[in-house]
Amino acid sequence: MRRTPLVRLLPLILLVAGSTFASGRASAASTPEASAILPISATAPLSVQINQVALDSRGPKIALVEARSALTQGHYRILRNAQQVGSGPLQALPAFSDWGTGLHYFAVDFSRHTEAGDYQIEVELDGQLATTPAVPVSDNALFTRTATQLLDYFRKSRNTSAADHRIRIFGTQRFVDVWGGWNDAGGDNGKYLSHLSYAHFFNPQQASLATWVLASTADQAPELYRQAGLETAVREEAFWGADYLHRILDRQGYFYLTVFDKWGTDNAERVVTGFEGIDGVYTKNYKSSFRAGGGMAIAALARAALLARHTGQHGQYTAASYLADAERAFAHLQKHNRDYCSDGEENIIDDYTALMAAVELHHATRQPRYLAAARLRAASLSARLKPGGYFTSDQADRPFYHGVEAGLPIISLAYYQAIETDAGLRAQAQLTIATALEQQLALNREVANPYNYARQIFRTFEQGKLSGELQRGFFMPHVNETGYWWQGESARLSSLSTAALLGGRISHADAAGPYGVHQDLAEFAQNQVDWTLGRNPYGMTMLYGYGQRNPPHAESAGTMLVGGISNGITGAQDSPTGAGIEFSPGPDENQWRWVEQWLPHSAWMLFNATAMAPAPKPSHEPARTASPSPSR
C-alpha cells in the first residue's frame, strides 16, 4: 500500500481495456487517464447504479437511481437478455444530501427475478431515460465470475526477486532468507505482515491474511474450487504463502514484520524492519505481535498444515513443518506478545487475531490448551462490545473502527463458536455476534442511507489525543492516530459482508432468507459487495477488468492487474472526519489513496465470494475439521 508520493521504480503494466478474456469471466472496462472524477449525478440529470460484475440468482438485487428532477414519480423496466420481464413505478427513498444537494433517490428491487441471464434496468423520469450496464445473474455468480482472476492476481503479484534470499535485519549484521511472498500493492514491492504498528489500533492483516484466506477456503470448500477448475491454482497459491511465512519465522519464534525499502526510492536498502510515518523511517521494531500479522500467520500455517494433510500436497515445506512453525510461534507470542506491541499493551486486534490462531491450532491438533487460549480471547472480545453500538479497541473507551478488517472480530467469534464444546460459552459467542450485527444494521439505519453503506463510530485524534465526542460517519476519519493514513475501504466492506454471512448463519440459525441469513443481513452483505463492484455514485467498478468503468491509470498507483481491487471511494480530502465523498481528485502523487490495488482487497473479496456460494455436493472428499465453512 503506497504511503507517500515517491518516484516509482516498478514497471507500469496497464492491461488494455476493451479486450475480452478467454475465460469469459471478465468484461471490457474503460481506463481513463487520472483526472478529477465526479459522481455521475454531477454531470447527468438521471443515472442508475448497479453491481456491474455479478448478482446471485438467490440474492438481493437492487439498482439505485439518482435524479436531479423535481418530479418524484417515474417508472422502470427490467430487461433480461434485452427482453422486458418486469416493470413498475420507482420507489422513492428518504432525502439524502451528504454526498450532493438537489438529488432524489429511488430503488429498483428485482430480487424476485431468479432466472439466469444478463439483466439491465431502464428508468424513465421527467422525460429523461437511463439504462444500466448489463449484469449477469446466475447461481454462485460472484465466485464463478471472479475467482479465476482473483487467484491470477495473487500469482501475478508474487515477489520472486533473488535478492530477497539474503536480506539484512535492520540494526544488525545478520542476514536472512525472506524470499517469496507477494508484492503488497500495485506501487509497492515491499512485503508486510502488517504496517502502521506505531499507531497501535490500525494494524491491517496483509500477507498472513491472504495466505489464511487461500488455505482456509481451499481446505473448507474444495468442491467449489474443483467445479470451477481452480483446485490446483488455489492450493499452489496457499502453499506459496505458507512457504513465505515459514521463511520469515525467526529461529527465536517471532515473525519478521516487514521487508521494506522505503517504497523503492532514494536507493534505500531493502531490509527486515519496522517503519513509521509517511517518511517510512526504519525502526528496530521488526518482531510481529499477534496484531501485527503474527496471529494470522499462525492461523494461516495451521490451516496450511490441514490443507496439506487433507490433500497429500504441500509447497516447498511439509504439513508437519507448517504445523510445527505455527505451534512454536504461538508459544512464543503467548510469552512475548506485549514486548512486541508498539505501546506495550494488547488491544482488540490482538484479541481477534490470537483467537483465530488458537482456533486454527485447535483444528489442527485437537489439543485442549488451544481451546483454553481461544476461550480467554473470546471472553475478552465479547467484553469489548458496548451498548453504544461498538467494540472498544483499548482498555478504556476508544471505539474500534478499521479501514480494512472491521468484520474480523465477528468472523473470529464465528470460527471460535464452531470449536466450543461448552453450551454456555457457545451461547455467549452467539449473543455477541448477534448483538454486533444488529448494532451495525441499526447504525446504518440511523440516517438516510440510500446505498446501505456500512457506517462506523469513531473519535477523531486531535493534538495528540482522542476527542471526547463519539462521532458517526460513512468513511474512515482522515484525522487519526497514524498521522496520515486513510484510503478507500474496499477490504473493509468485504470483511463486513463476510461477517454478516458467517455471523448471520450463527445468530439466526433458522433464517430462511438469501444466503441462509436474515433478509436484512443478506441485503447488507450484498450491498457492501455491490458498492465495490459498481453500485456507487461514480458507477465505478473497483475490481479491475470488470464492468463498464474502472479506476483510472495513475503513476503513483503503479501496476494495474486484472483481478486486483483498488482502494476505492473516501470522504472529502478537506474533511477531518471523512465527511462528504471523493474519488481520484488528483494530483497524481496522491492517487494511490483511491486507485492503487492492494493485497487485502482481493483476499477479502475471494473470502467474501466463497461465503456467498452454497457448498456444492462433494464427489469424494476426506473429512474436514468442523469450522464455519465459507460456503454453506
Dist. CA 158–CA 154, nearest whole Å: 6
Q: What is the pTM of this model?
A: 0.94
- Asked if 450 contacts 104 with a C-beta cutoff of 8 angstroms, the reply is no
Which amino acid is located at 231 in the chain?
E
**What Cα–Cα distance (Å) separates residue 368 from each residue in 303, 351, 365, 419, 628?**
18, 19, 9, 11, 20
Render 23-75 in DSSP notation, one character per residue.
Answer: TS-----B-PBS--B--GGGT-SEEEE--SS-EETTS--EEEEEE--S----E
Q: What is the dihedral of CA 319, 321, 323, 328, to 10 degrees?
A: 180
Which amino acid is located at 405 in the chain?
E
Helix, strand or coil, per DSSP, at residue 441: helix
Dist. CA 205–CA 202, nearest whole Å: 10
Largest CA distance in the chain: 73
Q: 302-332, pLDDT tens digit by residue?
A: 999 999 999 999 999 999 999 999 999 999 9
Dist. CA 319–CA 57, nearest whole Å: 39
Q: List, in sequence order, every residue forming a beta bridge with 104; answer none if it has no partner.
A: 67
Q: 258-312, pLDDT tens digit by residue?
A: 999 998 888 899 999 999 988 899 999 999 999 999 999 999 999 999 999 999 9
Dist. CA 573–CA 298, nearest whole Å: 37
Question: Residue 311's CB: how many other CB atoms inside 10 A?
Answer: 17
- Asked if 453 contacts 443 with a C-beta cutoff of 8 angstroms, the reply is no
Q: What does the buried/exposed string (b/e) look like for 452-487 if buried means 16 or more CB atoms within 10 Å of the residue's CB?
A: bbbbbbbbbbeeeebbeeebebbbbbbbbbbeebbb
Residue 79 pLDDT: 98
State the helix-helix crossing angle for 490-507 and 408-419, rounded to 10 degrees: 30
Residue 18 pLDDT: 28
- Asked if 23 contacts 148 with a C-beta cutoff of 8 angstroms, the reply is yes
3-state secondary structure 391-409: EECCCCCCECCCCCCCCHH
Helix, strand or coil, per DSSP, at residue 343: coil
- Asked if 203 contacts 408 with a C-beta cutoff of 8 angstroms, the reply is no
Dist. CA 503–CA 102, nearest whole Å: 38
- Asked if 329 contacts 254 with a C-beta cutoff of 8 angstroms, the reply is yes
- Asked if 377 contacts 352 with a C-beta cutoff of 8 angstroms, the reply is yes
State the helix-helix crossing angle for 408-419 and 348-365, rounded to 10 degrees: 30
DSSP E strands: which ranges in 126-262? 128-131, 135-138, 167-169, 175-176, 191-192, 258-260
- Nearest 5°: phi and psi at 136? -75, 135
- The three cell numbers locating residue 348: 482488540
- Asked if 277 contacts 340 with a C-beta cutoff of 8 angstroms, the reply is no
Q: Starting at the earlier edge strand, list the strands of the sheet with 91-92.
A: 46-49, 62-67, 104-109, 91-92
Q: Residue 603 belongs to what H/E stretch? A: helix 599-612
- Asked if 104 contacts 97 with a C-beta cutoff of 8 angstroms, the reply is no
Using left for φ > 0, alpha for ψ between -120 and 50, and beta otherwise, residue 138 falls in beta
**What Cα–Cα distance (Å) separates residue 579 from each residue in 335, 455, 458, 572?**
42, 11, 12, 6
Mean predicted lDDT score pLDDT of the chain: 91
Residue with C-alpha cell 449484469? 135
Q: Which residue stretches of the chain have pLDDT < 70? A: 1-35, 615-626, 629, 631-632
Residue with C-alpha cell 511439509? 318
Residue with C-alpha cell 449525478? 41
* N-to-C CA span, the chain: 33
Of the candidates 47, 38, 51, the residue with the CA atom closest to the CA atom of residue 66:
47
- Alpha helix positions (H), 509-598: 519-532, 592-595
Residue with C-alpha cell 515517491? 6
- Asked if 437 contacts 407 with a C-beta cutoff of 8 angstroms, the reply is no
DSSP annotation of 186: T
Dist. CA 505–CA 71, nearest whole Å: 41
